[in-house]
Amino acid sequence: MHDRIRHSGLLEKRMSAEAAAALIKPGMTVAMSGFTGAGYPKSVPQALAVQMEAAHAAGSDFKIKILTGASTAPELDGVLAKVGGIEMRLPYMSDPALRKRINDGEIEYMDIHLSNVAQHTWFGFYGDINIAIIEVVGIREDGSLIPSSSVGNNKTWLDMADAVIIEVNQQQSAGLDGMHDIYYGTALPPFRKPIMLTQPEDRIGQPYLDVDISKIIAVVETDAPDRLSAFAEPDATSNKIADHLLDFLDGEIKSGRMTDKLLPLQSGVGNIANAVLAGLSRGGYHGLKAYTEVIQDGMLGLIKDGTIAFASATSFSLSEAGIAEFNENVDFYRERIVLRTQEISNHPELVRRLGCVALNGMIEADIYGNVNSTNVVGSHVMNGIGGSGDFARNGFLSVFMSPSVAKDGRISGIVPMASHVDHTEHDTMLLITEQGYADLRGLSPKQRARLITEKLAHPEYKPMLEDYFDRALRDSYGKHTPHLMGEALSWHQRYIETGDMRL
């Protein structure tokens, strides 16, 4: 492991995960690396969970506040949630154990736009960062850090934390060295300057993370894989959604609003996103660019076959096969991928300048185009808004996609009124289900309602939506955005009471 820890002074700070975890005390705010199951600390959180469980068994309360880049994995969020060791969590999560405790009211959770986390930390909105725990590929002779498979908010955590614990993970590919672009030019208002990035492939920073060596209190050696995200082949519904998007993009090219190179793509995570990426290759596109958050297996494939010429992100999220492909061809990918801090990968200034095409999933949309990305039936959080708002509000084109029904048809993806709103109708341009797509640009609320119902709703729910809207047109208090306020959320209430929106 000495080839990974090349700073002699930091070799002397090596210790076990248990000893490092013992440095964390109840009530601390701990910032950890990690973004969508990549680059998170593997050993210290698990050792900390054991110590928390022992403290609780002895009658002591031991909880901490945790900040990350985005979601992590069972070895971090999962183990700490299970032992009741999390007081507050932000800004995004996906672990089932953590989700359950949040929805049971046992853990406070703050769901925020990912681009805001770093600057809000600098503003002091979250208080002091007591300890940062950061996974890296290695430590260089001068003490600078070779970032891991995600960057996320690591630059900010290292800058702002009172103390730092470093996990050096042998299993992370040494070939990641040189793939990162860490920008140190941000400043607090009123001293901010334009960020001089005009193409996804631009490098405006440095390959390594700086750290004040005097703040490093522990170096822990690990040898463990990232959470391996299973890569499922797109199903029939996802392929239909992808086909509708391709039809729309063909129309945009014919209209002259985009060329056959499109504009830089941002894609969310999941089966629909992978289906859309596969559809781009199937559609004959070549030489595209991506300015996004996450590199999935599907994007690796598009880079390999030339569909995508270059991709900028802040993290990987790969399956076991994807990791093997990346490691085997790391020199090839290092020339075509750059990983940035998430304050840059998601920066509104850059998203707007580049004109990104934002492709994101949703839980539901209402007939006026308001989108719920986070809460089932308005109150049961799934994951979080992530970076979708950073791109949807600021991109050239905002697209939200979902199947028209869920739970074997018991839930409609198109409803009279969204039970929770993450993206307002003002930020939504295109909605797609397997039924079709609705281009909402230039339409009034009533025009949107008719089009969304006609194009997107499942046949079992379309008559119900048409009936609701017709009665709302007649009986609503106002006729600009017609709603029956006593009935607008009745579909969700029916689901709570019966398990089916149709009953």
106 part of the active site:
no
In 3D space, the residue among 420, 418, 209, 384 whose CA is nearest the CA of residue 293 turns out to be 384
Beta bridge partners of 472: none
Beta-strand relationship, 129-139 and 145-147: antiparallel
Q: In 106-214, where does DSSP find H-type helix?
A: 116-123, 154-160
- Taking the C-alpha atoms of residue 203 and residue 187, their distance in angstroms, rounded to an integer, is 18
Measured CA to CA, the distance from residue 63 to residue 95 in angstroms comes to 18
d(CA 143, CA 211): 7
Angle among Cα 243, 245, 246 to the nearest 5 degrees reads 65
Q: Are 119 and 93 in contact (CB under 8 A)?
A: no
> For 225-283, where are the alpha helices, taking DSSP H only?
236-255, 271-282
338 beta partners: 312
Contact 168, 4 (CB under 8 A): yes
Under a CB-based contact definition with an 8 Å cutoff, are residues 367 and 469 in contact?
yes
- Active-site residue (options: 87, 293, 425, 434): 293
State the catalytic residues: 293
